[in-house]
Amino acid sequence: MSTNVNHAMTTPTKSVSSVAPAANDETSKKTMANSLAVRTLPTPRQLKKAIPLNETLSVQVDQHRQQISDLLSGATAESNKFLIITGPCSLHDEEAALDYGRRLKLLNDQLSDKLLIVMRTYIEKPRTTTGWKGLAYDPERNGNGNIELGLTRSRSVLLKLVEMGLPLAVEALNPMTMQYIDDLISWTAIGARTAESQIHREMISHLAMPVGIKNGTDGSVDTAVNAMISASRSHHCLGTDIDGNIVMLDTPGNPDTHVVLRGGRNLTNYDADSIHRTLAQLEKAVDENTLHPKVIVDCSHDNAQKKHERQVDIAIEVIEQRVGLGKNAPNQGIAGIMLESFIEPGKQGMSGPNQDGNLCYGLSITDPCLGWEQTEKLLKALHARMA
Ligand SMILES: O=C[C@H](O)[C@H](O)COP(=O)(O)O
Ligand SMILES: C=C(OP(=O)(O)O)C(=O)O
């Protein structure tokens, strides 16, 4: 990974200019904070201290970040591997997430000569309108919030997965949430709903890891390419430090980004033409910026039209483009794929498949996922297709 991104998100900031005086009672009545219930949370430092990542595991996370970075830059033998980001749409049940992690680790031990496998461990969910927002925000799934418990349980389950030796992937939705878990994560996504947001681009520019940026929900790839350019540069921006102080950040810029093609507005973009068009756009941007002209294909979302079984055919089609099987010439610009996969296939509502409040174990409560059996078969088929 390039040296200028080797700052943890928690790197002490350069300057905190001054501390604002407390508002007097009259003005405070008009502030946003006073119109809402305010509950103090532990700071990122406090949570990281309570659920610590030891030095050995921290080195492991660095190595995983570096492997993904090398795969994107084509720097080493690692770059010939195919990146697979796979796991549930969202983590809602820690036991099932650990069960999935154990299965994935065993499979990884068989396939890691050709595949670089990263587990999807999303604890924040962006919603089109409303819905469950993820383990970090509503761990008890009763709509009461309890973010302190959510952050604690999230950090705890992520740490257990890191202890299994797995590299982890999340979507970074709220920059403050990321401060509580960033040291555990090896790859981050910026979602289709936030790739155009300046705040997210600023956040990427000081995330010390590779970041995949989704095309917009309308299918726009420009959004992702513009985000890559913006995030590769240094920004002066508002943020919080590890102790929860509001600070000005001077970010280093992050060149370790790439596009994630997820389809949009019911149209798919995993076909060879769409991928070539995106890569050509990236190649053009590379002339003026330090960027990776690489894509990964999200086999779910609009590409699968929310039909989880379609992910299998899409993944096979994409790896055949990568290695040059069938009518395709080999395309090294395709760095990998993303799958939504869990233990059981499909999805269930928040009250379980029978609406009686009993959730089915290992079944997604957000987007539909491939089941474990299909996933295992698919990853072996992808491995077999890699030269
Ligand atoms: O991946 C998950 C969903 O596609 C995303 O969070 C949006 O979900 P929603 O449209 O059900 O709100
Ligand atoms: C929300 C997700 O994706 P997208 O931003 O592509 O909708 C996701 O991967 O969980």
Q: At what angle do helices 310-323 and 372-385 cross, to 10 degrees?
A: 10
**Position 1 confidence tier, pLDDT thresholds 50, 70, 90:** very low
Asked whether residue 83 carries a pLDDT value surpassing 50, the answer given is yes
Q: Hey, where are the domains in the chain? A: 41-385
Predicted local confidence at residue 84, as pLDDT: 98
Q: Which ligand is nearest to the CA of 306?
A: 1
Question: Rg of the chain over CA atoms, in angstroms?
Answer: 20
Bigger pLDDT: 20 or 139?
Answer: 139
Nearest atom of ligand 1 to the alpha carbon of 127 = 12
- Is 318's pLDDT higher than 90? yes
CATH match of 41-385 with 3.20.20.70:
yes
In this structure, the strands spanning 246-250 and 236-240 are: antiparallel
Structure-block tokens of residue 166: 């797995």
Burial, 59: exposed, middle or buried (Cβ in 10 Å; 0-12, 13-18, 19+)? exposed
Half-sphere exposure of 59 (CA within 13 A, CB side): 2
- Residue 376 confidence (pLDDT): 98
pTM: 0.92
Task: Please tell me the least confidently modeled range out of 69-83, 191-205, 239-253.
Answer: 69-83
Q: Is ipTM > 0.85 here?
A: yes
Which mutation among 121, 127, 133 tests ligand 1's pocket best, with the greatest number of atoms within 8 A of CB?
127
Quote the CA–CA distance of 242 and 11 in Å, as a whole number. Answer: 8
At 347, list the tokens: 């999805």
List, chain by chain if needed, residues with CB within 6 Å of any ligand 2 atom: 89, 122, 126, 171, 191-193, 214, 262, 298, 301
Q: What is 321-385 written as a DSSP string? A: HHHT-TTPPP-TTEEEEEEEB-SSSBB--TTTTTTSS-PPTT-BSSS-BB-HHHHHHHHHHHHHH
